């Protein structure tokens, strides 16, 4: 399977933070959820991918091309929504449309206007009159309206109410199905990712903790709940992390079937991405 995006051994050091050997691959036509705490390194990684941050070590390829050597060629086919992205408030959506016609050769005014209608955004209203959610919808409409081959989205549904969020998520799914576009989607709303992401890449404290298919994480991983006595009988190599609560132990395992067989445990709870993050970050080994 072709990879649209390849990040290999990405390192970037600041005074109080460091990205350490970040590596992952996004196959063509897939959605990758990019998860982690605030400050874990998601946005720094995304800005390196977009060549906004240039001074780093490692290799980033987009469409098989080095992102630093082929920046202009690559950007034509990337749609972007950043968490700290903004348009000048005096502009209107019509102004955005005119500006983008001169930036992207594949800019589609008809598609842009369709998104404006879908999102109930008035084309002649200044952006300063828009709510946070409306501004986010405008950013999404702009990112989608030049037929990108890769969407890089940093918290694209932040500020949206549940109905609007569901609508946007459905749009992302339909784009994947129709156009063979690929999406790197950073979000704190992990419930959305459980439904639409093909892969999950989890970053913590500047390091990739795991990068696996969503099916494997949600179907093979699990949480075992047991007493202290039962916990002491479990080999450390058979679990990833554990957490002691007031009444029991919670143990993160990577293969529910094997664990059940070895320890004769009949019930292992299904895991959510939120569960995974909490146990991986707060749990002990």
- Per-residue confidence (pLDDT) for residue 70, from 0 to 100: 85
DSSP secondary structure letter of residue 212: E
**One domain for residues 201 and 228:** no
Side-chain half-sphere exposure of 178, counting CA atoms within 13 A: 9
Domain boundary among 185, 214, 243: 214
**One domain for residues 159 and 278:** no
Number of neighbouring beta carbons within 10 Å of residue 203 = 23
**One domain for residues 256 and 150:** no
- Per-residue confidence (pLDDT) for residue 264, from 0 to 100: 79
Q: How many domains does the chain have?
A: 2
Domain boundary among 170, 194, 214: 214
Domain of residue 95, CATH code: 3.40.50.300
**One domain for residues 135 and 111:** yes
**One domain for residues 109 and 40:** yes
* Residues contacting 247, CB < 8 A, separation 6+: none
- Per-residue confidence (pLDDT) for residue 179, from 0 to 100: 65
Q: Which residue from 87, 75, 27 is spatially nearest to 51, judged by alpha carbons? A: 75
**One domain for residues 93 and 129:** yes
Q: What is the span of the domain harbouring residue 234? A: 221-282
pTM confidence score: 0.92
Write out residues in the chain with pLDDT < 50, as ranges. none
**One domain for residues 191 and 235:** no
Q: Counting beta carbons within 10 angstroms of the beta carbon of residue 267, is it exposed (0 to 12), middle (13 to 18) or buried (19 or more)?
A: exposed
- Per-residue confidence (pLDDT) for residue 108, from 0 to 100: 97
Both tokens assigned to 51: 């060549």
- Per-residue confidence (pLDDT) for residue 1, from 0 to 100: 56
- Per-residue confidence (pLDDT) for residue 137, from 0 to 100: 92
**One domain for residues 140 and 66:** yes
pLDDT digits (tens, 9 = 90+) for 138-195: 999 999 999 999 999 998 888 888 888 888 888 888 888 876 799 999 998 898 899 8
Domain boundary among 162, 188, 214: 214
**One domain for residues 159 and 241:** no
- Per-residue confidence (pLDDT) for residue 97, from 0 to 100: 97
Residue 46's alpha-carbon distances to 41, 128, 158, 200, 215, in angstroms, are 9, 27, 17, 15, 24
Query: Rounded to whole angstroms, how far apart are CA atoms 255 and 171?
Result: 33
The answer to whether the CB of 225 falls within 8 A of the CB of 246 is no
């Amino acid at each position: 399977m072709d990879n649209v995006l390849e990040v290999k051994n990405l390192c970037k050091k600041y005074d109080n933070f460091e990205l350490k050997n970040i590596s992952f691959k996004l196959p063509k036509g897939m959605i990758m959820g990019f998860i982690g705490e605030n400050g874990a390194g998601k946005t720094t990684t995304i800005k390196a991918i977009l060549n906004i941050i240039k001074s780093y070590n490692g290799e980033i390829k987009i469409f098989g091309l080095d992102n630093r050597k082929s920046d202009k060629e690559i950007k034509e086919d990337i749609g972007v929504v950043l968490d700290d992205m903004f348009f000048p408030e005096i502009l209107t959506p019509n102004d955005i449309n005119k500006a983008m016609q001169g930036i992207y050769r594949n800019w589609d005014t008809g598609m842009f206007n369709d998104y404006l209608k879908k999102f109930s955004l008035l084309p002649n209203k200044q952006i300063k009159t828009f709510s946070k959610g409306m501004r986010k919808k405008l950013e999404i409409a702009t990112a989608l309206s030049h037929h990108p081959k890769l969407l890089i989205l940093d918290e694209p549904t932040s500020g949206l109410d549940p109905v609007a969020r569901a609508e946007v998520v459905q749009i992302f799914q339909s784009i994947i199905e129709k156009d063979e576009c690929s999406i790197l989607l950073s979000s704190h709303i992990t419930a959305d990712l459980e439904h639409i992401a093909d892969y999950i890449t989890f970053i913590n404290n500047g390091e990739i903790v795991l990068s696996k298919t969503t099916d494997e994480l949600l179907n093979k991983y699990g949480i075992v709940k047991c007493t202290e006595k039962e916990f002491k009988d479990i080999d450390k190599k058979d679990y990833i992390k554990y957490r002691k609560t007031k009444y029991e132990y919670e143990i993160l395992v990577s293969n529910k079937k094997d664990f059940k067989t070895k320890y004769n445990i009949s019930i292992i709870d299904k895991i959510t991405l939120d569960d995974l993050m909490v146990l991986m970050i707060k749990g002990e080994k």
